[in-house]
Structure 1
């Protein structure tokens, strides 16, 4: 099963599926349904320092933002664009209320669902510019407990995202989490300090942010290579 996952899975998928399988097997052993745990001794690891998902470059983001088509869902567009410019995960974006926004200081403050209750860095503060404030908008009837983005289930959002990306003519496999990766790579490429990016993403360790540096270095190399060969012969 481990070999099958390695050959047929991508990104963090194989590791996640095997972890879920091991939990089920462990529960079966605890209930005496099976005598021996067949997962013992098997480990499935991936390279955490390598970015597994695609990213959208600034020009592709502009291309996506400018794309409109029949049956489009503006609320999903608005939320995904927000993720591209803040790096906030879907699980947090879907739970944000207007109470998380301080309009006077133009900041967003929230507790990350992923690290809530087991990390001292679960709270994140994200500065907002005028564009993001307009994207967020204001609550109806001053109801600050209203959710900023009224999103359907995560899987539905991803299915719709494929249609949007295809309509934009972008030939990449983009999921919602790619917005977070795109944000990190794009701000690092623009010269942002890695500690600043780590803080904006709410990472518990800067090592988690360092994996984006490999992509940034690759993009720089691609930029140099795109200049072509120099047909110059010294006299």
Structure 2
């Protein structure tokens, strides 16, 4: 059994049976290729069937010296997934990663924007340019719906249900969900579609994508990141901002205004409620307000 063939089979399994995105599948594949390259470099003759825990320990020790705990955990998680697959498919009887521990990670609180900063960002967009209307529309949609970058650029006109007040989103693992959309975002999308997008010469196969570049093609993730970085710079905001910052802000602001955590979980498309619980970070003022408003002894 050769590494190249088994990695190809593994990636097919991740894509078809587990429904992972192309990016996730490639990342898992790269983890295993790092191991293969290590074995080649040191002329260690191991196959997927014969490699043992000692060889994996040596590889991890050497490879992760310069990596952060988070990067180490990601690599080890990728290895564990691969060898679990080998056992599942009866390629080997034992899992050599069983005794390999993953570094303990503290929960990193995400960067968020205040409502003032979001308004500042959006108001700094130059609406005299055609792409300005598109960019304002994208930022409004990111904040209104809490979308991931890929979800935003993949949004299609046929998935907009404005009369019902929802959009249909294609999330991770090709899982679909319906997300409420604010009237302000609906207004800006309507302006963009009717006044800007309608004048673009659209390339074949891209007719249904909502957000297009000037050449009539689907917008890329890289372009979306660039737009947001440039907008933040123009607005004078010093924080490190990405499309995900709007998603974090969406969830945080909903929670601070009394939204139910389960509802936020559904809107974000989180499979587990524990992922959503990271937004439970409330500042001291929030906690004081909770006591002031809800504690039965507060009237005394």
- Name the structure where helix makes up a greater proportion of residues: 2
1:49 and 1:210 in contact (8 A); partners too? no
2:243 to 176, 188, 201: 176
Measure, in 1, the Cα distance between the counterparts of 2:280 and 2:130: 34
Q: Under a length normalisation based on structure 1, what TM-score does the superposition of the two structures give?
A: 0.70
Aligned to 1:23: 32
Measure, in 2, the Cα distance between the counterparts of 1:136 and 1:177: 20
Q: Residues 85-127 of structure 1: CA distance to partner in whole angstroms, max 9, x if unpaired?
A: 1101110111111111123312111221x232xxxxx221112
Measure, in 1, the Cα distance between the counterparts of 2:118 and 2:265: 22
Moved more, 24-33 or 54-63: 24-33
> RMSD value over aligned CA atoms?
3.4
The structure-2 alpha-carbon separation of the partners of 1:28 and 1:199, relative to structure 1 and needing over 3 Å to count, comes to: same
Aligned to 2:183: 130
Give the C-alpha shift of residue 131 in structure 1. 1.6
Moved more, 188-197 or 22-31: 22-31
Aligned to 2:153: 94
The structure-2 alpha-carbon separation of the partners of 1:48 and 1:184, relative to structure 1 and needing over 3 Å to count, comes to: farther
Which has the higher Rg, Structure 1 or Structure 2?
Answer: 2
Aligned to 2:117: 60
Measure, in 2, the Cα distance between the counterparts of 1:222 and 1:160: 38
Aligned to 2:4: none
2:286 to 203, 220, 224: 220
- 3-state SS of paired residue (2:270): coil
Give the C-alpha shift of residue 19 in structure 1. 7.0
Give the C-alpha shift of residue 154 in structure 1. 2.0
Higher relative contact order (CA 8 A, sep 6+): 1
1:99 and 1:145 in contact (8 A); partners too? no
The structure-2 alpha-carbon separation of the partners of 1:46 and 1:67, relative to structure 1 and needing over 3 Å to count, comes to: farther
The structure-2 alpha-carbon separation of the partners of 1:132 and 1:46, relative to structure 1 and needing over 3 Å to count, comes to: farther
Aligned to 2:163: 104
Aligned to 1:39: 59
